[in-house]
Amino acid sequence: MQTVQVGQFKTNFSDILKQVSNGEEFIIEYGKRHTKVAKIVPYKEDARQRVFGQMQGKLDIPNDFNNDSQEIENLFYYAQ
């Protein structure tokens, strides 16, 4: 990981972007105190896709799951 000042970053922007695309990371510093203000890292696509039914066969849902329960209804709607 390399550290560059803002001025150096602006001057060498295209070269730094090429290095970032090859996996290099940069920290951008600003001012006389070299305050770290940003980090530039390579962009990665999120390769994971959501799969419908991926928990099928792993969960056991009771047949009366959707049945109304007076006790639960009282807790939600009539609790004081």
Torsion angle (degrees, nearest 10) of CA 54, 60, 63, 69: -100
pLDDT of residue 20: 96
Q: Please report the domains of the chain, with CATH numbers, ordered by start residue.
A: 2-40 (3.40.1620)
Kindly report the average pLDDT of the chain as a whole number.
89
The model's confidence at residue 80, banded by pLDDT at 50, 70 and 90, is low
Q: What is the pLDDT of residues 21-58, one digit of tens each?
A: 999 999 999 999 999 999 999 998 877 788 888 888 88
